[in-house]
Chains A and B, each alone.
Chain A
Amino acid sequence: MSITDTIAADNIDRLLTVEIRRAGVVRGFKAVLQETVREDADEALVLSAARLLDRAPARIGIVTGAAVPEHMPVGESDGPFGAVVLTRALERIGHQVTIYTDPVCAPPIAALLRRDHRAAGITELRYNDRPQQEEAAAACDVLVAIERLGGNVNGHIYGMTAIGRDAFRTNVDHMFHTHAKLGRESLGIGDGGNEIGFGRFRERLAQRLPQINQADRTPCGGGVFSAVPTTRLAVGSTSNLTAYGVCAALALLRRDAALCHDPDDEEALHHVGVGLGLADGGGGGIIAACDGIPARTNAALVLVMRTIVERALEPARKRAF
């Protein structure tokens, strides 16, 4: 790994903290979120995450899905796109992937996997079925959570608006705790602090970002920040973009730019997602956007990310002037 690659990964992290989302959802905190997590890491978060995945062929479970009845009945676009794109990269380097999600979220994710000719299977999570989660933990060498809520200090899961999700969404904390007890490593990919993976940073984040934690607004008083840790954690503007950043870091490690996500495909994914009923988490509309960021803008970011990788992988040259 050259210094150029390290700098490239640092800049992917930096790019991921550019907040483009629409005003009206909480903003102005992604950099603090990432910087807090980075305090405990000795390299870019995407690079640390990619190193976990850069291993001999293994069984990797990806947990995703964020449906809200009436508002986002089959889930939002943030999470599924990242899961499918990461699956593509993981299968390319030989891993076997299983995606775990709630039954209502499974059909669109299955369609996205078919569209991409992925071998990965889907396991539907039965509501708070602990034996199933133990089985899943045992079946995976590495667990990855992408935009998957984790319980707060009181074990409750909340959206960023401090509204509870316990009533209808499976809490997968037990899966990650069981997996950790088996001595296995895991990766969290999140964008708000309320997802699986932020557990080690919860106290610091609650101190630094009380307006995001909203302890006073959550009915249990525990705030939205998750208490569930993972071994590695990557943080960005949206969970999808962060997952793409992990792919880009894998490309640096493997010196294979083809592991990067493709901007044209990013835009296409949004339009296919609309057809599958995936909602924009920024407002709940079935539109080609993710967390309020239009498809083309997400594609633009993917292109800049790929440019960083391609420039880093170019052979060194000596400028004559």
Chain B
Amino acid sequence: MPEQIEIVCRNLDRLVTVEARISDYSRGVIANLYEAACAAQGGGPLSLHAARMVLQHARRGGTVLMTTGAGGPPHLPAGETDGPPGLVVLARAIHQATGATPLLLTEPAFIDNLRATALAAGLGLRDADMVRETPFATAVVPLSSDDDAAEQAAAYLDRFQPDLLISVEKIGPNTAGFAHMASGQPNRGERAKAECLFDLAAQRGIASIGIGDNGNEIGFGLIADAVKRFKPQGDKLATRVRTDALMTANASNWGAYAIVAAMAAVTGNVDLLHTPDMEQRVLEACVNAHAADGSTGRHILAVDGMPAEAQRAIVTMLGVIVRNGMVQGYQRPF
């Protein structure tokens, strides 16, 4: 069975690293970053590595801090559609698999969006200090973009005592302290300094997972040299922020979904799987709450330039890879 799970997860990885994006600066990149990430993490599959980390660290009664949020005024005032869907789907699965309470952190400008998206994934919204008492619930708390970010990070880690930190499509700074968009343009607007959380978590020995698709997101510090080599403008945008596990994908949402699928394969619990209908619901909620497609800046049902139908298709395939891969005892007789 372990070999069967590994085959499943290798195919999950392979599917979510198929490039179907619209932006020319994102083409011909992700397979190279994936190979580098595998090399840096013992060979992969990455979805399996991250899933095992979740299942090892997240626990009933504990918390998992999860952050997302890319974009910002003027073009993406409420953020983009890549990030929040992946985050909430993963948050729901983590709670369902382990009983841990996911707490979501993002820029104040993105909070309403993330709340709407979380609700669509079936996560109730509660106050941060009482959310642990409510199953299938979360709280969305603000993440500072100011000089007090480090102080806030320490306060959050003290207050919530997380067992695990996860970042999905959250931009981190380069070695010079500057953050850049995937296009290589400097990040404008009020970017939350999530790196303070991850830096401090590393100091305290708290496990962390980064999920991204371009190399400028938190986690890619693990393979910064590969980002500089393979990603256009990589020398500028490669983040210095590393995580213990890194999942690369064609869209960050897909990376999160692959980890959910790997969790289902490892636990044998197909109820954890994301579904195409939930994907539709979550994406619609995200867009209705003012998020935009990150490639075009339009408020349409698309992620990184790929239509909702393609998102549903990926979710469909991830689910069948797991379900078919878990069949046991069958042997074709002819």
Chain A residues within CB distance 8 Å of chain B? 3-4, 7, 10-11, 14-15, 17-25, 27-28, 31, 68, 70-72, 159-161, 163, 263, 282-284, 292-294, 296-297, 299-301, 303-304, 307-308, 311, 314, 316-317, 319-321
Contacts and interface: CB of A to CB of B under 8 A. Distances in A.
Contacts of B309: 263, 303, 307
A17 B334 CA distance: 24
Nearest to B330: A24
Interface residues of B, number: 51
Contacts of A17: 14
B306 interface: yes
A70 B334 CA distance: 10
B316 interface: yes
B147 interface: no
A297 B326 CA distance: 16
Contact of B11 (A19, A263, A282, A296): A19
B310 A303 contact: yes
Contacts of B331: 24
Contacts of A31: 10, 14
28 contacts: A3-B28, A10-B28, A11-B18, A11-B19, A15-B15, A15-B18, A18-B321, A22-B330, A23-B4, A23-B328, A24-B331, A27-B7, A28-B3, A31-B10, A161-B332, A263-B313, A284-B334, A297-B316, A304-B310, A307-B20, A307-B309, A311-B22, A311-B305, A317-B296, A320-B75, A321-B71, A321-B181, A321-B188
B321 A20 contact: yes
Contacts of B334: 68, 70-72, 159, 161, 163, 284
Nearest to A24: B330
A212 B76 CA distance: 51
A161 B328 CA distance: 17
A20 B8 CA distance: 8
A284 B75 CA distance: 54
Given A4-B27, A319-B23, A319-B295, A18 B185 contact: no
B303 to A, nearest CB: 11
B320 interface: yes
B20 A28 contact: no
Contacts, number: 134
Contacts of A300: 312-314, 316-317
Contacts of A25: 332
Interface in B299-323: 305-307, 309-310, 312-314, 316-317, 320-321
Instruction: Please provide the 9 A-B residue pairs with the shortest distance between their CB atoms, ordered closest to farther.
Output: A24-B330, A300-B313, A321-B75, A28-B7, A300-B316, A22-B324, A71-B334, A297-B320, A303-B313
Given A31-B14, A321-B181, A311 B20 contact: yes
B20 to A, nearest CB: 5
Q: Please report whether the interface of chain B is mostly helix, strand, loop or mixed according to DSSP.
A: loop
Contact of B314 (A70, A159, A304): A304
Contacts of A294: 320
A263 B321 CA distance: 18
B204 to A, nearest CB: 35
B243 interface: no
A68 B11 CA distance: 30
Nearest to A311: B22
B17 interface: yes
A15 B321 CA distance: 13
Contacts of B183: 319, 321
B297 interface: yes
Given A4-B27, A22-B327, A23-B324, 11 more contacts: A14-B18, A14-B31, A18-B15, A18-B321, A25-B332, A72-B334, A163-B334, A300-B316, A303-B310, A307-B309, A319-B296
B148 interface: no
Interface in B43-79: 71, 75-76
A218 B71 CA distance: 59
A268 B181 CA distance: 42
B205 interface: no
A21 B183 CA distance: 37
A22 B75 CA distance: 45
B310 A284 contact: no
A28 B325 CA distance: 10
Contacts of A163: 334
Contact of B306 (A4, A23, A307, A320): A307
- Most interface-central of A3, A18, A283 (chain B CB within 10 A): A18
B324 A7 contact: no
B11 A18 contact: yes
B333 interface: yes
A10 B4 CA distance: 27
Contact of A304 (B3, B18, B22, B24): B18
Nearest to B18: A15
B316 A321 contact: no
B15 A311 contact: no
A176 B16 CA distance: 38
B310 A307 contact: yes
B228 interface: no
Contacts of B4: 23
B21 interface: yes
A20 B31 contact: no
Nearest to B75: A321
A83 to B, nearest CB: 22
Nearest to A308: B20
